[in-house]
Structure 1
Amino acid sequence: MTNFNSRDKRMGFKVKTLSPLSGYRFRIVFFILCLGLGGLFFRVGWIQLLQSEELKAKARVVQTEKKSPLGTRRSILDRNGKLVAIDEKRFKLWAHPRYFNFPGDSYGTVRKPVEVAKLLSLPLSKSVDDILKDFGNYSSGVKLADGLTQEKANEIKKLGISGIDLEAYPQRLYPHGSLFANVVGFLDLDRRPQAGLELSLDRKLRRLEKTSVLSKGADGTPLPIGIKRGVFDEDQLNLQLTLDVRLQEVAVKEISKQVKEWNAKKGVVIVMNIDSGELLALASAPSYDPNKYWEYSPSLFKEWSVQELFEPGSTFKPINLALALEEGVINPNGEINDDGLVTVGGWPLSNWDRNPNGILNFAEVLQVSSNVGMVKIMRKLNPTSYWQRLKQLGIDEMPETDLPGAVAGHIKSKQIFVNQPIEPAVASFGQGFSITPLKLAQLHALIANGGKLVTPHITKGLKGDYQSFSTRLPESKQVLTPEATKTVLGWMETVVEKGSGIEATVPGYRIGGKTGTAQKSQDGKNYDSKICSFVASLPIDDPRFVVLVVVDEPQKPFAYGSTVAVPVAKKIIETLLVIEQIPPSTGRIENLAKKS
């Protein structure tokens, strides 16, 4: 030890003698450590006992993603799956100038509005000056754009500008414009249904959406933690219609052209499957574009073929003949004398041309549309029985249909109908009572299908890739016998072969039909306008469809069912034959016995 100390001294080192540490120092260090450890335990206890719920809530916000439903609606499709109405995601663009910041900027940097406007100018297709005007002097909550597509929203997102928010919302679009407006209706700007199926089937069209909460990693990837069954399931069901876009296009085009050509008030076309009641076309004119509904009169928003009544006129004569056959007051081979004038209860009733037609069989009564002949035929039927038969047809009942706003027809009370002879007399040629065009189509389907009242409808049900729910329909009611309806259908064929419906002839096909030109009263007293119609059943050897055309108040001279309604029906029939691939007709009316 001595040697080391001497050497250290020689080398200039200062040697310090080792001595034990003071116990006082140890106590100070120990106290500081205990104080720190105690503070740590206190902090942990504070967090665990008093701040745990608050911190858990903050953690959940960071670690989870909450997706709230947008409130979308189901798409509407035609019978072949073509879109009729659809919800598409659109975006509103909001700006908050006090938070403007670009990627890479340091914390606290606030960019000038003009810098942001230059970046937004291209995706918004607006000038920088226009965007700056939108900013104004507001520091937050500035709406820059509405209705942005997903593509535009993606362009803006890629810019990465802080202080720019994109708010997603669904927008209802109608790809075919006015083609289905009368049926589908529309949503207003607040997404409230205002007409058509959008209104009547509002609840059914709302998608079943739910709020979902997912745990996610730092990069936003969903984690399989606490995921409940069905969280990724989406409502993929759509409402499918019975309507056919192709046939609807032709129907709308032809009825619109005819309404314009004849200066008519309105017109309607109905194409119905006689066995199922499915409507393949339901077209009205004039119509409107549901994408721009605010540009049109609200009077166009209803479908008058199911919401307004009219006197069917001569198109009801085949129905009356079927009732007379059913009651046994006439036989298929009978005849009637049309002398041109008949007086009932002091009222003179004549034919539409005021001319006599002589001795007619019942097919000829339809061919020449003899009013006098019909009055004499139906006079054979007891008025009480006649009234009861009309009631049995559901003339004044609310129709069972999914069409929005459908109304019941109107017929005189039993007392008036039975005690005033003029009432059954005018009813024999389709006046004195009123029905909707839809009801008339249903009654002619009854003649074509063997006497069954089917339910007219335009919805097939909810359809999806993995599940579907079909529309439930009431069971068809047998109202008339197949024998009576088959006979009348044969008489209707002669109307197209050589009567007033001859212009509806399609070579190679057997078609039955009946024209109508009913006098129309605006005040219930004066019949100073008319309504022209034509109804066809086809093909006669294997009936499948009824086509009805009605044109209200044509203004030009020589307006009759044969001149106004038949040309429209022929175009639609020709299209229907192609779309449904109906082969040319064979055989005669006897083939109907197999169907019956």
Structure 2
Amino acid sequence: MGSQGLQGRRAPAPRKGRRPRRNQVVDFQPVPPRRLWIVYGLLAAGLSGLALRLAWVQVIQGNELLNRARAIQTQTITPLGRRRTIVDRQGRLVALDEERFTVWAHPRYFSFPGDDIGRLRSPLDVARKLSPVLAKPMGDLLKAMEGRKSGVKLTSELDPETAQRVRELGISGVDLEAYPQRVYPQAGLFANVVGFLNLERIPQAGLEQSRDRDLRRQEASRSLRRGADGTPLPDGLKPGVLYGDDLKLQLTLDARLQQVTQMALAKQVKKWKAQRGAVLVMDVSNGELLALASTPTYNPNQFWKYKPGLFREWSVQDLYEPGSTFKPINLAIALQENAIDPSGKVNDSGKLTIGGWPIFNHDRKGNGVIDFPTVLQVSSNVGMVEAMRRVQPARFWHWLHTLGIDNTPDTDLPGAVAGQLKSLETFKTQPIEPATAAFGQGFNLTPLKLIQLHAMLANGGRLVSPHITRGLRSGDDLASAPPASGVQLIRPAIAQTVLNWMETVVEKGSGRGVQIPGHRIGGKTGTAQKARNGVYVSGAKITSFIAHLPINNPRYVVLVVIDEPKGENAYGSTVAVPVAKQIIEALLVLEKIPPSRSVPTTARQSS
């Protein structure tokens, strides 16, 4: 409609109370081309800048920003270096890692939940809250934080329950650092074989040191990605990273028998004011040790309170002359060489002179013409020399070498050492050497080696490897006993003959104190002179007793060695035999060994 149309119409009358509206007309002016080019240039420049910035961020800074983003989104969990648990043959805990915490304070960041942003709490406020939880005087906490802004160690060795109470306080600037701590629940019961870790968790002795690689858990750093709301994302995990290492090292030792052994041994060592003592109990079929106790011992949970000399197991690492407990081994050698007849006899005159050296019986008395069971019963030195004279010195030395006297035993016990044996040339040219070796002196071995040789007699002539571990097991599973093993060295019939002779020692000889009604037990006592640096020490002796049971079906050997007991009546029969009897009584119950024969009525009544 044109302007004439508008002019021909009458404008509406204004409403009462309202001002009339004025029509405004804006004339459009053409935009100058220069202005358009300026706007276009600005837009082009902006887009070009964004493109360049985008290229810079994606190409030049891409890797840096990606790493920064991953650092924020990814949580890396560093392994604490935990170690595997050690258990006994029944699964009882011997050593394990427990989680402990160190509390760190950073006063420059102190604040409480609900505080205004930027409010800084004083060390006094924090100490007042922490003191009852940590069970530490508030003054000690304040003194530790005085004048310091960060990195204040308030306490350590905090248990998980107390750490959770600290965490629930929600104090900003108080951190908990987790770490594993090695704990030995049995205290000193297995210290001689298990060893311990020092405060830096470095193995210092025993299995902790010798089996260090086996006891380290397989742990890897875990990197877990999280979403914007903190939700864990399934990507970024390597195969096997969530694998839980639940393996444990199982021992052959029995904590129950070890406890009985330790108590009986410690009591006798104290009674006789001896320097030390050791007891070994072995399964003769496979070489497993059910008990390996020594005294004095130490508590590995507080190792710093003890002398380092206690950290080694002397029954595995120290040499001694076995004395009369070696006589059954020598008789087996003589029988194997067909040098003596099982029913033969020897003349015990009470004294001999060999190569200008006098040899006496322990009581300086002769026993006349006696058979070999009697030689063991009275522990005749002269009778043994007469018997072993029938074995050529070279053959005698060959057997001692074959039995491994001068070789390190094949064992998993840490620190095991070889014995000492004179050279073959010395044996052949100096008659006194085979003569003294006949009654167990003139050479050295460890108690571990002696019980290994006696296990050979008990199992029918097989030399087994002594050991205290059954290997690594998973979960709650326990390893069963390994099958019979060993290298056959002595004919079974010969081994049984010697066992029968040893039974007479318990029935009629110096081992009578170990008799238990209904059970057939063989044994041999020993009271040997003690040598230092090749010279026998006046009055110093080592008393011992070796027991086999049951004789009709040998399963176990028990060896008791007590070093330097004091007193006029200190012999193997008085010092070592009582310890062996207590251990055998416990062993019969724990291993459910039935009687070998019926018990007489009088014996039942007396018991």
**TM-score range, shorter-chain basis?**
over 0.9
Amino acid of the structure 2 residue aligned with 1:428: A
* Match among 586, 595, 599 for residue 575 of structure 1: 586
Secondary structure at the aligned position of 2:172 is classed as: coil
| Contact kept in structure 1, 2:285 and 2:484, CA below 8 Å | no
Aligned to 1:188: 198
Q: Deviation digits for residues 509-554 of structure 1, max 9, x if unmatched?
A: 1111000000112242234110000000111111100000000000
Counterpart selection for 1:175 from 154, 175, 185: 185
- Asked whether the 8 Å contact 1:181–1:287 carries over to 2, the reply is yes
C-alpha change, 1:151 and 1:219, in structure 2 (3 Å) is farther
Q: Indicate if the aligned counterparts of 1:461 and 1:471 stay in contact, CA closer than 8 A.
A: no
Find the counterpart in structure 2 of residue 261 from structure 1.
271
Please, which of 416, 420, 431 is the counterpart of residue 410 of structure 1? 420
SS of 2:190 mapped into structure 1: helix
- Specify the code of the residue in structure 1 equivalent to 2:547: A
Residue by residue over 1:449-504, the C-alpha shift from the partner in whole angstroms, topping out at 9 and shown as x without a partner, is 01110000001001112999999999621111101111000000111111100110
Residue 15 (str. 1) matches residue 23 (str. 2): yes
Change (3 A) 1:521 1:28: same
State the alpha-carbon separation in 2 of the partners of residues 424 and 30 from structure 1: 116
| Larger displacement relative to structure 2 (270-279 or 86-95) | 86-95
Is this contact kept in 1: 2:529–2:536, CA < 8 A?
no
Matches within 5 A, 1:266-345: 266-345=276-355
- Within 5 Å, give how 1:391-406 maps onto structure 2: 391-406=401-416
Q: Is the 8 A contact 2:250 2:478 kept in 1?
A: no
Q: One-letter code of the match for 1:490?
A: N
TM-aligned CA deviation for residue 394 of structure 1: 0.6
* Aligned counterparts of 1:78 and 1:287: Cα–Cα separation in 2: 19
Say whether the 8 Å CA contact 1:8–1:15 is kept in structure 2: no
Aligned with residue 539 of structure 1, among 545, 550, 554: 550
Which residue in 2 is equivalent to 1:585? 596
Correspondence for 2:495: 485
Correspondences of 1:74-473 after superposition (within 5 Å): 74-465=84-475
Matches within 5 A, 1:543-558: 543-558=554-569
Other structure's SS at 2:324 match: helix
Pick from 484, 508, 519 the counterpart of residue 498 of structure 1: 508
Moved more, 457-466 or 438-447: 457-466
Q: 1:300 to 1:325 in 2, by over 3 A?
A: same
Distance 1:536 1:419, change over 3 A: same
TM-score normalised to structure 1 length? 0.94
* 8 Å Cα contact 2:348-2:370 kept in structure 1: yes
Q: Give, in angstroms, the shift of residue 344 of structure 1.
A: 1.2
SS where residue 193 of structure 1 aligns?
coil
Paired with 1:5 and 1:258, the residues of 2 have a C-alpha distance of 133
Q: Cα distance 1:479–1:220, how it changes in 2: closer, same or farther (>3 A)?
A: farther
**Contact in 2 for aligned 1:95/1:144 (Cα 8 Å):** yes
**Alpha-carbon distance, 1:103 to partner:** 2.3
User: Structure 2 CA distance, aligned partners of 1:270 and 1:402?
Assistant: 15
> 2-side partners of 1:494 and 1:124: how far apart?
66
Question: 447-456 or 102-111: which moved more?
Answer: 102-111
Give the SS at the match of 2:558: strand
Letter of the 1:568 counterpart: V
Q: Which moved more, 1:519-528 or 1:307-316?
A: 519-528
Structure 1 residues 506 and 467, CA gap change in structure 2 (3 angstroms) = closer
Cα distance in 2 for residues equivalent to 1:245 and 1:519:
33
Which amino acid counterpart does residue 19 of structure 2 have in structure 1?
A: M
> CA separation in 2, counterparts of 1:527 and 1:45?
91
Q: Show the counterpart of 1:46.
A: 56
In structure 2, relative to structure 1, the CA distance for the partners of 1:469 and 1:495 (3 Å cut) is closer
**Aligned residues of 2:280 and 2:289 also touching (Cα < 8 A):** yes
Q: Distance in 1 between matches of 2:170 and 2:490?
A: 73
Unmatched runs of 5 consecutive residues or more in structure 1: 588-596
Cα offsets for 1:170-223 (capped at 9, x unmatched): 111111111111101111111111111111111111111111112223454422
The alpha-carbon deviation at position 244 of structure 1 amounts to 0.5
Are residues 22 and 139 of structure 1, via their aligned partners in 2, closer, same or farther at CA, if it must alter by over 3 Å? farther
Structure 1: which amino acid aligns with 2:248? N
Question: CA–CA distance in 2 between the matches of 1:5 and 1:115?
Answer: 82
Letter in 2 for 1:555: K
Q: CA deviation at 1:336?
A: 1.6
Is the Cα contact below 8 Å between 2:104 and 2:154 reproduced in 1?
yes
Partner AA of 1:507 in structure 2: P
Partner Cα distance (1:257, 1:14) in 2: 122
Instruction: State whether residues 541 and 586 of structure 1, in contact with CA within 8 Å, keep that contact through their aligned partners in structure 2.
Output: no
Secondary structure of the 1:56 match is helix
1:562 to 1:532, Cα distance in 2 relative to 1, 3 A: same
* Alpha-carbon distance in structure 1 between the residues aligned to 2:313 and 2:400: 25
Q: Residue 279 of structure 1: CA displacement? A: 0.4
Amino acid at match of 2:594: P
Q: Measure, in 1, the Cα distance between the counterparts of 2:387 and 2:273.
A: 36
How far residue 132 of structure 1 moved from its aligned partner, in angstroms, is 0.7
Give the direction of change, closer, same or farther, for the CA distance of 1:352–1:556 in structure 2 (3 Å limit).
same
Aligned residues: 587
Q: Distance in 2 between matches of 1:110 and 1:480?
A: 83
| Gaps in structure 2 of 5+ consecutive residues | 1-5, 599-607
SS at match of 1:60: helix
Alpha-carbon separation, structure 2, partners of 1:467 and 1:220: 38
Q: Assess if the C-alpha contact under 8 Å between 2:426 and 2:433 holds in 1.
A: yes
Q: CA deviation at 1:101?
A: 2.0
Tell me if the contact between 1:255 and 1:269 (Cα under 8 Å) persists in the aligned partners.
yes
Q: Which moved more, 1:340-349 or 1:545-554?
A: 340-349
Displacement of 1:22 = 5.6
- How far apart are the structure 2 equivalents of 1:191 and 1:4? 106
CA distance in 2, matches of 1:271, 1:154: 45
CA distance in 1, matches of 2:445, 2:39: 104
Quick one: distance in 2 between partners of 1:485 and 1:457?
22
Whole-Å separation in 1 of the counterparts to 2:104 and 2:501: 70
Q: 1:594 — aligned with what?
A: none
Q: Is the 8 Å Cα contact of residues 455 and 474 (structure 1) preserved in structure 2?
A: no
Instruction: State how far apart, in whole Å, the 1-side matches of 2:473 and 2:528 are.
Output: 42
Using the TM superposition, give the Cα deviation of residue 356 of structure 1 relative to its aligned residue in structure 2, in angstroms: 1.4
Q: Give, in angstroms, the shift of residue 99 of structure 1.
A: 1.1
Offset of 1:37 from its aligned partner? 4.7
Instruction: Give the C-alpha shift of residue 250 in structure 1.
Output: 0.8
More moved, 346-355 vs 567-576? 346-355
Give identity over the alignment, percent: 57
Larger Rg: 2
